[in-house]
A and B are shown apart, each in its own frame.
Chain A
Amino acid sequence: MAYSEKVIDHYENPRNVGALDTKAANVGTGMVGAPACGDVMRLQIQVNDQGIIEDAKFKTYGCGSAIASSSLLTEWVKGKTLDEAAQIKNIEIAEELALPPVKIHCSVLAEDAIKAAIHDLKQKQQQS
């Protein structure tokens, strides 16, 4: 299968790889996918006092397209509010990376990941 240049670029130079402190009150963690399905994404966001996402980190087990989708997502969410980040659609990721039809599920997973991270963060904020 041939990959688009953008997928290869993100795969070879993934942005924002790493981890944030899961326990911190201003960090939300989303873990989606399953090892059995061949992809697991962990996406973390950190918000500042104004509710703007100031940092994002990811780690992904999966194919090149899954890695590229999550890498791209970390770039996109930085500087956005939670509501803005929640608006990101999988189709935008798929278009940006020129994913072939069999790889669309990678972009779906990325959308799920940011939603899960936002959900986690909001739950934490409600509890505190």
Chain B
Amino acid sequence: MKLPIYLDYSATTPVDERVAQKMMECLTIDGNFGNPASRSHLFGWKAEEAVEQARRQVADLIGADPREIVWTSGATESNNLAIKGVAHFNARKGKHIITSKIEHKAVLDTCRQLEREGFEVTYLDPTPEGLILPQQVADALREDTTIVSIMHVNNEIGTINDIAAIGAICRAKGVMFHVDAAQSTGKVAINMAELPVDLLSMSAHKTYGPKGVGALFVGRKPRVRLEAQMHGGGHERGMRSGTLPTHQIVGMGEAFRIAGEEMQDEQARILKLRTRLLDGVSDMEQVFVNGSLEHRVAGNLNISFAFVEGESLIMALKDLAISSGSACTSASLEPSYVLRALGLSDELAHSSLRFSFGRYTTEADVDHAIAQVRRAVEKLRELSPLWDMYKEGIDLNSVQWAAH
């Protein structure tokens, strides 16, 4: 077992060896280094061929036409291009956007920017289970709504939204539907041929590809029109200019090809690991899983250990690389906005840990994690005045706290 143990696959994944190998073939003088936009010589043609093969590989994973794939620098850019691109293009038709409170910052901040430009945004509340219901979207739709943006899988709690049902509602009203799928490719089957989704953001590095590359699915039927956000040489049919990074793109293609082949077995194996971890800690007192367990990707477990603060817990878990919803692990001093949107008390949000499992996680890793977590939680509860109060039967909500 290698220490520390990486259990933060939702943050990023290591590049698969097979992917790295393909990428290295596209860099040096002996490799496929040409500019895919060079039309006058073999170097350009070969690079273009590699890029188009990768485009097919990405399209294949999500059941799309390769002509519907636009390369970007990652899911953040894809989200920006989709939401700003469609909102700007349709600004004369309407200026209303619908999204949810638990989207990734790349969506929320994009919406904030559009608000500054005069657009109006409705932020839907998730259910306590962490889901956005189709009916909520239906109720929020207006005459002037031009785009709805709802994530497929949440990055903190791993919950899966019913994008087929939400999309059907949008399509019936002729409203564009964008899905941030950064956390779902290679984890949940996606078939764009059947899904009523117009735009879908993808990232390579969450699926064992390299950082710095992603893609945006831009549907052809019905045809999606958007305003470019990056101007230049007119690459990607004018939707996103900039020389295509062959090695990055080839890496994403290979990563998505592998995901398509191995997803089913891999997800089954990962689900067993998650269940093992949960079983290993669920007999402890005051342990809560955040978000629906039923509608959740296999690789995520977000869990609160009441009366223990998340950052100090992470400090005790020296052998584990994990994240916390605690304020203290971020610069903002606010606990996770996702957990708070679920209705969790600040205190349970502060006490949360996110374990995310992936391709290289082993049973031995999980067993070591269980032992460490149990020891750390017990130690910190011994140190916690809140735990004492809980044991004495004092309701913490009845105490007058001196907020600071």
List residues of chain A with CB under 8 Å of any chain B CB.
1, 3, 11, 14, 17, 19, 31-42, 59-64, 66-67, 102, 105, 108-109, 112
Contact = CB atoms under 8 A, between A and B. Distances in A.
Interface in B328-383: 328-329, 331, 333, 335, 345-347, 350, 382-383
A17 B381 CA distance: 11
21 contacts: A31-B385, A32-B404, A33-B401, A34-B402, A35-B347, A35-B350, A35-B396, A37-B404, A38-B326, A38-B335, A38-B350, A40-B386, A41-B385, A42-B388, A59-B388, A61-B309, A63-B311, A63-B315, A63-B326, A64-B312, A108-B404
Interface string B296-337: 000000000001110110010000000000111101010100
Report the 4 A-B pairs with minimum CB-CB distance, sorted nearest first: A34-B401, A35-B347, A36-B346, A42-B385
B384 interface: yes
Contacts of A17: 382-383
B1 interface: no
B29 interface: no
B384 A61 contact: yes
Interface centre among B309, B335, B345, B350 (most CB of A within 10 A): B309
Given A34-B401, A63-B309, 10 more contacts: A17-B382, A32-B404, A36-B401, A36-B403, A37-B404, A61-B386, A64-B315, A66-B309, A67-B312, A112-B402
Interface centre among A17, A31, A35, A62 (most CB of B within 10 A): A35
Contacts of B382: 17
Contacts of A3: 315
Contacts of B311: 38, 63-64
A34 B328 contact: no
B312 A36 contact: no
A36 B348 CA distance: 9
B391 to A, nearest CB: 11
Looking at chain B, what size class is its interface with the partner chain?
A: 20 to 34
A37 B345 CA distance: 11
Interface of B: 307-309, 311-312, 315, 326-329, 331, 333, 335, 345-347, 350, 382-388, 396, 401-404
Contacts of B331: 102
> Interface on chain A toward B: helix, strand, loop, or mixed SS?
mixed
A42 B389 CA distance: 11
A38 B327 contact: yes
A5 to B, nearest CB: 13
Contacts of A63: 309, 311-312, 315, 326, 328
A36 B386 contact: no
Contact of A36 (B308, B347, B387, B388): B347
Contacts of B396: 35
A11 B315 CA distance: 9
A62 B388 contact: no
B323 to A, nearest CB: 13
B334 to A, nearest CB: 10
Nearest to B400: A34
B346 A61 contact: no
A3 B328 CA distance: 13
Given A38-B309, A59-B383, A32 B315 contact: no
A88 B382 CA distance: 27
Contacts of B386: 35, 40, 61
A59 B404 contact: no
Contact of B385 (A11, A60, A109): A60
Contacts of A67: 312, 383
Contact of B383 (A14, A33, A34, A105): A14
A61 B399 CA distance: 15
B384 to A, nearest CB: 4
A67 B308 CA distance: 12
A102 B402 contact: no
Given A3-B315, A61-B309, A63-B311, A40 B385 contact: yes
Contacts of B402: 32-34, 112
A62 B385 CA distance: 10
A61 B348 CA distance: 12
A61 B307 contact: yes
Contacts of A105: 404
